[in-house]
């Protein structure tokens, strides 16, 4: 089976979304779960970065959820519908430059690299609960309001 690559079916996957989806006591868990169930009916392609991957696995592992960290990490690494962009030196420095350019924002370096990858892959929508994606001009799903 081939994954549909229409722009509307491609999303950037942020750590806040996966954490909300997988951590039952996360404040956004039910919202993420409901949204994810709707997405499953479509052929979607998820794009993320090795920095986001690191955030997810580290978050879970440092909260005594080693097995969950391994389970989620393995899914992301092995799923044919997930592309992980490995942050190499050039992208790292571009992200660092982006971070410096926006002194008025509280973006993380991971956010900045994510924004650059979204631009590179011509992605408009991020699966996230991080307001920084909206501040940077991207659409956010699920909606951050209410």
Residue 2 lies in a domain: no
Based on the number of CB atoms within 10 Å of its own CB, is 85 exposed (0-12), middle (13-18) or buried (19 or more)? buried
Asked if 113 and 2 touch (Cβ cutoff 8 Å), the reply is no
Q: Residue 75: its pLDDT value, please?
A: 94
Residue 1 lies in a domain: no
Q: Residue 63: its pLDDT value, please?
A: 82
Residue 73 lies in a domain: yes
Which residue segment(s) compose the domain that 98 sits in? 7-141
Q: Residue 122: its pLDDT value, please?
A: 95
Q: Residue 87: its pLDDT value, please?
A: 97
* pTM of the shown model: 0.89
Asked if 11 and 47 touch (Cβ cutoff 8 Å), the reply is yes
Q: How far apart are CA 140 and CA 107, in angstroms?
A: 16
Sequential pLDDT tens for the chain (146 residues): 233 344 458 999 999 999 999 999 999 999 999 999 988 888 899 999 999 999 999 999 998 789 999 999 999 999 999 999 999 999 999 999 999 999 999 999 999 999 999 999 999 999 999 999 999 999 999 986 65
Q: Residue 52: its pLDDT value, please?
A: 98
DSSP conformation class of 8: G
Cross-strand bridge partners of residue 83: 47
CATH code (residue 119): 3.40.50.1010
Q: Residue 41: its pLDDT value, please?
A: 81
List phi, psi (to 5°) of 74. -65, -40
- Structural domain count, the chain: 1
Q: Residue 145: its pLDDT value, please?
A: 66
Residue 36 lies in a domain: yes
Residue 14 lies in a domain: yes
Residue 146 lies in a domain: no
């Amino acid at each position: 089976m081939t994954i549909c690559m229409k722009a509307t079916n491609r999303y950037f996957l942020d750590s806040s979304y996966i954490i909300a989806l997988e951590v039952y006591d996360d404040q956004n868990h039910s919202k993420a779960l409901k949204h994810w169930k709707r997405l499953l009916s479509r052929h979607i392609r998820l794009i993320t970065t090795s920095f986001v991957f690191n955030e997810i696995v580290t978050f879970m592992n440092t909260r005594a959820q080693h097995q969950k960290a391994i389970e989620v990490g393995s899914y992301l690494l092995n799923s044919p519908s997930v592309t992980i962009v490995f942050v190499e030196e050039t992208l790292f420095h571009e992200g660092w430059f982006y971070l410096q350019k926006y002194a008025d924002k509280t973006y993380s370096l991971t956010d900045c690299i994510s924004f650059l990858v979204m631009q590179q892959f011509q992605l408009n929508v991020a699966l996230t609960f991080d307001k920084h994606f909206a501040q940077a001009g991207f659409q956010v799903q699920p909606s951050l309001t209410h």
